[in-house]
Amino acid sequence: MLNDASLDLLNVDLADPTLHVEDRVNEVFRTLRAHHPVVWNESRNEPGFWSVTRHADCIRVQKDFHSFGSVQTNVLGPHRVLGDLGAGKMLNATDPPRHTELRALVKNCFAPPQIAALAPYVRGVVTEVLDLALAEGECDFVGVIAMLPVAAISALLGVPRQDWPLMSRLTTSAAGSFDVEYQDNTTARITAARAHAQLLLYCRQLVEQRRHQPGQDVISLLISAHAANMLTEEEVFLFFDLLMLSANETTRHAATGAILALICHPKEWRRLRDDPDLVPSAVQEVLRWVSPSRHVLRRAKREVALHDRTIRAGEDIVIWNVSANRDERVFSTPDVFDVGRQPNPHLSFGSGSHVCLGSLLATLELRVFLEEFLRRVVAAELLAPVARLRSPIISGLKHLHVRLHPA
Ligand code: HEM
């Protein structure tokens, strides 16, 4: 519950996964931005935390790594108390200087020339995905599109095609475990822990193979870094876990969210079809609209005053980028889906030193996906109500049953 009297009336707990599948969540964030830009959230399920919801504050907190650290973990969930396996070891759960060293190891693999070189491969995968969806006529697009991000990240990590379904299943269990549909007859935490353990074990096998047959992939590069004492073996496995999970459990939701947005906004779909030059801005608008990563979390390293509140050292602060993306101080029509929106300074990829490492890869996948979708699909119908993922972390769909009509 939020401890402010007026917010008690709203009766909300931002850590509650159910809140985020309810329509009122946008109204809650609007109220917070307007009246309570920094607010303490006393949660039923986990320790309390501060929330920031305005665009400028979200940027400020993410950029100030001297005051707000990432070492403990970077999202809500029980690992805040019980401990995160990657704390202090995994790129997203480190602070400079270790963070800078880890990022420097891989950043060239995600740089513009390397990602641009993947474009023909990504187009081939998108073609295959759309061939399948159009051949089936009716499909659950969430399942069909899963192949795109896993194929893209696997090209960089050197994961063979026969293992893509396993990778998708494991990352979905790890990231979606707040939702009972993805819990394997146990709790969210145990489901996620098992999935992470399997990803780490998978990587151990991959490392063994790659030691005998090094390639041009990221895993071979990390093995060399291990040999040069720049990484422990555990850190190699954790890197793999992070890259596979971050790549799969975000872009997939952006792509399905794009289809849903176009179905719900037929004028915007026509506008985009008539002017494909709008695809790059449409990609940015989809990212803003869907905001696949709802929040990131930091822990205060020292006392900091923010608006009229004092955040004490050791307290957690949740940065709701999903709310920043609808901040009326920055976006003139925040609740309008506008494929031509310019400028569009959304925070879907975060901000500051931890800004998404894979943003160019995700943008490439989404651009090619939209280009091919517009070329090959003239209409789409929703065949069932959309099923949203119950999660305070990820904004996405579990199912999107659609009938696609070919051009
Ligand atoms: C639409 C797709 C994506 C979204 C919305 C997204 C979102 C984000 C956000 C918000 C962060 C910041 C985390 C923080 O500040 O704690 C982040 C970091 C990260 N993302 Fe993405 N991401 C996407 C795609 C990808 C892809 C395709 C990869 C594949 C490599 C990737 C890899 C990473 C990594 C490794 C980090 C950690 C960076 C660091 O801590 O320095 N992401 N992402």
Report, as an integer, the average pLDDT of 282-290.
Answer: 98
Per-residue pLDDT, 175 = 84
CA of 355 to the centre of ligand 1 (A): 7
* pLDDT tens digits, 141-166: 999 999 999 999 999 999 999 999 99
Measured by CA distance, the residue closest to atom 30 of ligand 1 is 358
Reported confidence tier of residue 45, pLDDT bands at 50, 70, 90: confident
* Ligand 1 centre distance from Cα of residue 356 (Å): 4
Q: What is the pLDDT of residues 66-82, one digit of tens each?
A: 999 999 889 998 888 88
Instruction: Read off the pLDDT of residues 90-137 as tens digits, 9 standing for 90 and up.
Output: 999 999 999 999 999 999 999 999 999 999 999 999 999 999 999 998
The residue whose CA is least distant from atom 17 of ligand 1 is 356
Distance from Cα 359 to the centre of ligand 1, integer Å: 7
CA of 13 to the centre of ligand 1 (A): 25
Ligand 1 pocket: which residues have CB below 6 Å?
A: 62, 70, 74, 91-92, 103, 153, 242-243, 246-247, 250-251, 254, 287, 292-293, 296, 348-350, 354, 356-358, 361-362
| 4: pLDDT strictly greater than 80 | no
Mean pLDDT of the chain: 94
- Mean pLDDT value across residues 169-190: 78
pLDDT in tens, 260-269: 999 999 999 9
Q: Which H, E and C letters describe the chain, residue by residue? A: CECCHHHHCCCCCCCCHHHHHCCCHHHHHHHHHHHCCEEEECCCCCCCEEEECCHHHHHHHHHCCCCEECCCCCCCCCHHHHCCCCCCCCHHHCCCCHHHHHHHHHHHHHCHHHHHCCHHHHHHHHHHHHHHHHHHCEEEHHHHHCHHHHHHHHHHHCCCHHHHHHHHHHHHHHHHCCCHHHCCCCCHHHHHHHHHHHHHHHHHHHHHHHHHCCCCCHHHHHHHHHHCCCCCHHHHHHHHHHHHHHHHHHHHHHHHHHHHHHHHCHHHHHHHHHCHHHHHHHHHHHHHHHCCECCEEEEECCCEEECCEEECCCCEEEECHHHHCCCCCCCCCCCCCCCCCCCCCCCCCCCHHHCCCCHHHHHHHHHHHHHHHHHHEEEEEECCCCEECCCCCECCEEECEEEEEEC
Interval 242-263 mean pLDDT: 97
